[in-house]
């Protein structure tokens, strides 16, 4: 008899909890009224909200998070997302965007790639002036949202190492062109008209050294070529 009473009490508690859950899910108190978007820099807020498929008025507890993530990641610029319910009626979408580190010329336009060589977008001639143009690569088919595949993998690997070293040295905003066609004669061109010739060795050290030399030459308002292909002291030849 006691066991039956206990089981009955447990049944009543479960029934009560189920009723509470049904009330929570169906109650207008928890219907979506606000969507907050943070972290986005280039993707407009309304584009992010539209692509999620969310509808104002739907229950916060009925939305499909997996579907929202999938919809957002269909945009190649979205690198990471954090979704949070803010009770009783709001949702927060915290976006981390992929950042372009270089532009690869393609038939009068540019393929913008991030640090992982993922193609973020195909940009027009009015490209992002804050990233260098990467020349000297040959390639075939490509697809936005996928990793860029060069015909020569070694060239691309070296190019990514150079881009990383430029960022570390704080020179990534000053270099406007990288020609990686010959890995033993890589040419970096600054926005002040100074060229740096390096090879595929001691990249971080040489780029750090190049930064100091470029800053000194800019103070002296000189243009020319800094040859750093070989070990030893850099050689500077001023343009006439």
Asked if 135 and 103 touch (Cβ cutoff 8 Å), the reply is no
Question: Distance (Å, rounded) from C-alpha 149 to C-alpha 106?
Answer: 13
Nearest to 75 by CA among 118, 111, 33, 29: 118
Domain spanning 2-97 has what CATH number?
Answer: 3.10.20.310
* Contacts of residue 13, Cβ cutoff 8 Å, sequence gap at least 6: none
Domain residue spans in the chain? Answer: 2-97, 102-238
Note the helical H segments in 32-146: 45-52, 65-73
Structure tokens at 170: 């704080």
Asked if 99 and 112 touch (Cβ cutoff 8 Å), the reply is no
| 16-28 residue pLDDT tens | 666 566 566 566 7
Higher pLDDT, 126 or 86: 86
* Contacts of residue 76, Cβ cutoff 8 Å, sequence gap at least 6: 98, 118, 119, 120, 121, 144, 145
The half-sphere exposure of 194 on its side-chain side, counting CA atoms within 13 A, is 26
| 144-185 residue pLDDT tens | 999 999 999 999 999 999 999 999 999 999 999 999 999 999
User: How much is the mean pLDDT over the chain?
Assistant: 89
Instruction: Give 62's pLDDT tier (boundaries 50, 70, 90).
Output: confident
Domain spanning 102-238 has what CATH number?
Answer: 3.40.50.10960
């Amino acid at each position: 008899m006691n066991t039956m009473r206990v089981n009955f009490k447990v049944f009543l508690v479960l029934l009560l909890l189920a009723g509470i859950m049904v009330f929570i899910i169906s109650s207008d108190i928890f219907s979506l009224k606000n969507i907050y978007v943070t972290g986005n820099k280039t993707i407009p807020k309304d584009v992010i909200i539209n692509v999620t498929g969310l509808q104002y008025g739907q229950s916060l507890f009925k939305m499909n998070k997996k579907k929202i993530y999938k919809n957002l990641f269909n945009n190649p610029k979205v690198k990471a997302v954090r979704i949070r319910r803010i009770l009783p009626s709001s949702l927060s979408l915290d976006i981390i965007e992929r950042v372009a580190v270089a532009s690869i010329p393609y038939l009068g336009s540019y393929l913008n790639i991030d640090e992982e060589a993922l193609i973020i977008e195909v940009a027009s001639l009015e490209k992002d002036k804050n990233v260098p143009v990467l020349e000297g690569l040959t390639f075939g088919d490509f697809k936005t949202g996928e990793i860029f595949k060069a015909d020569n993998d070694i060239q691309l690997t070296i190019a990514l190492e150079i881009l990383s070293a430029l960022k570390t040295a704080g020179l990534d905003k000053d270099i406007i062109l990288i020609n990686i066609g010959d890995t033993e004669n890589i040419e970096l061109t600054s926005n002040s008209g100074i060229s740096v010739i390096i090879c595929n060795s001691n990249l971080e050290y040489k780029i750090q050294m190049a930064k100091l030399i470029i800053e000194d030459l800019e103070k002296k308002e000189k243009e020319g070529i800094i040859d750093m292909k070989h070990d030893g002291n850099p050689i500077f030849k001023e343009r006439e």
